[in-house]
Amino acid sequence: MDEMHGFQLIDFKGWKESEITEMCGGGIPANLAGFWTSRKLLAAEWWSIKPKILLQLNDKREQVITDELFPKRWQNFKEKFDDWVEAQTMDLSLLPRIADLAVMEPFRSILFECLVKTVEFKLDEIDHVAKKWMNSRNEFVFSLLPLDLQERYRTTDFPSLKSLMILRFRRQEDRTTLHDVCGDRIGRCNLSTLQDQRIHRMLPGVNMPWNWSKADLEFDRDGYMIVKDVLQFLGQDPYDAVLDGELNNVKCYCVECASNSQWFTPQGAKEMIAHQLHSHNGNLPAAVSRWHVL
């Protein structure tokens, strides 16, 4: 191989001389593999040096981003994200959290990959990505529903997810609400690549991104029938009922508990539903014979 300036050889895989000197404080690192050898380089030698150089440069890039650039960058991103949250009217539990957006493009590249010193985050960009995330989340939730309910809910104010809050799901043996499904940030994300693992290590003490997995998660039709029954007993349209406001002021007592001298007087539809879902081991009579209104 002809003798060449190192950068003619190294100008591959996206690395530029200016980028390397910038990253390394103004010069070429003294320990860059084989770089300071001033003699003709044999092709075989070059092919053995090339991966070492690339590895060194990539390691250096990750170190500079992680140690020098990321902390301030994250701070800026967080401030803008908090501003965005402040401007939202939707229930907080239904909004994406900061890690959800951080792992989506373009933020993923800007936060975790980019060597540029000063980066800027714009509110409308956060809004755009957040809406994309919410649409995907809603589609995911929708895909969990049985077909008949998909048909039914397609005509409601689906994007707000409000009317779906009465739904129940099963995660393994546990009954869970849509609220809990949407809040699931337990570390069960799919960390399939080294890059994903690095990003997750860098996320500074925030919740992990939302878990989109359908593993162990299914629609709870029995639970749904119970919720629907209670709501109809309270004179509500189960497809439109929103579990707050007046529905939380009703007072009923559970007939079975009363007959066992365990006087249980829940206040509000939420408590009634919870009682009916989680007490008396399933075998439930219809709400109309279970509850007496006080």
Quick one: 214 or 292, whose CB is closer to Zn ion? 292
Chain contacts with Zn ion (rule: CB under 5 A): 254, 256-257, 279
Quick one: 138 or 279, whose CB is closer to Zn ion? 279
Whole-number minimum distance, CB 274 to Zn ion, in Å? 11
Whole-number minimum distance, CB 75 to Zn ion, in Å? 51
Quick one: 53 or 254, whose CB is closer to Zn ion? 254
Whole-number minimum distance, CB 257 to Zn ion, in Å? 3
Quick one: 61 or 275, whose CB is closer to Zn ion? 275
Q: Distance (Å, rounded) from C-alpha 166 to C-alpha 189?
A: 26
Residue of this chain nearest to Zn ion (CB atom): 254
Task: Report the 3 state secondary structure along the chain.
Answer: CCCCCHHHHHCCCCCCHHHHHHHCCCCCCCCCCCCCCCCCCCHHHHHHHHHHHHHHHHHHHHHHHHHHHHHHHHHHHHHHHHHHHHCCCCCHHHCCCHHHHHCCCCHHHHHHCCCCCCCCCCHHHHHHHHHHHHHHHHHHHHHHCCHHHHHHHHCCCHHHCHHHHHCEEEECCEEEEHHHHHCCCCCCCCCCCHHHHHHHHHCCCCCCCCCCCCCCEEECHHHHHHHHHHHHHCCCCCCCCCCCHHHHCCEEEEHHHHHCCCCCCCECHHHHHHHHHHCCCCCCCCHHHHEEEC
- Bond into 106 cis (ω within 30): yes
Quick one: 211 or 279, whose CB is closer to Zn ion? 279
First to last CA, the chain: 93
Quick one: 188 or 278, whose CB is closer to Zn ion? 278
Whole-number minimum distance, CB 256 to Zn ion, in Å? 5
Whole-number minimum distance, CB 72 to Zn ion, in Å? 56
Place of tokens 């399933």: 282
Whole-number minimum distance, CB 277 to Zn ion, in Å? 11
Whole-number minimum distance, CB 252 to Zn ion, in Å? 10
Quick one: 161 or 254, whose CB is closer to Zn ion? 254
